Amino acid sequence: MKGKLLFFKLFILAALVIPVSAFAEIKDDDVAKIDELIKTGKYIVIDVRTKEEYNAGHLAGALNFDYYSDDFEDSIESQFKNKNKPYIVYCRSGKRSLASAEILEELGFTNVTNMKGGILAWESAGKPVVK
């Protein structure tokens, strides 16, 4: 009985201490799947590279929010009021976008998908970019 009570107390303590975002799972899809998702027309696509990288070539319709900018989080929050819409994030090879996806989820976004391999994988697969 004592063991069960201790377990219950620890469970309650963990529930209070561990933020819900710690359980959020970021989706990490490959280029083929991302291409399918974009074609549904439901996704907002965010390019988190620098303006220079974006201008050199990006996915059609992608919006640019530089992960390295000081106001990255504020800009994202003020631009995207609906945190339940589906979002895709990508960068050059997948590191900044994965970090960005984590930030978005911490901000309360509920449906964020990272493009595995970034625009390098996208271009390697022969997918189009616009300038």
Ligand X SMILES: O=S(=O)([O-])[S-]
44 vs 120, beta carbon nearer ligand X: 120
Query: How far apart (Å, rounded) are the C-alpha atoms in residues 90 and 35?
Result: 12
91, 101, 112, 121: the catalytic one is 91
91 classed as catalytic: yes
Rg (CA), the chain: 18
Query: Which tokens belong to 121?
Result: 């994988």
Supply the minimum distance, in Å, between the C-beta of residue 20 and ligand X: 27
Q: What angle do CA 112, 117, 122 make, to 5 degrees?
A: 95
59 vs 94, beta carbon nearer ligand X: 94
Supply the minimum distance, in Å, between the C-beta of residue 118 and ligand X: 5
64 vs 85, beta carbon nearer ligand X: 64
Q: Tokens 């595995």 label which residue?
A: 116
Enumerate binding residues for ligand X (CB under 6 A).
91-96, 118
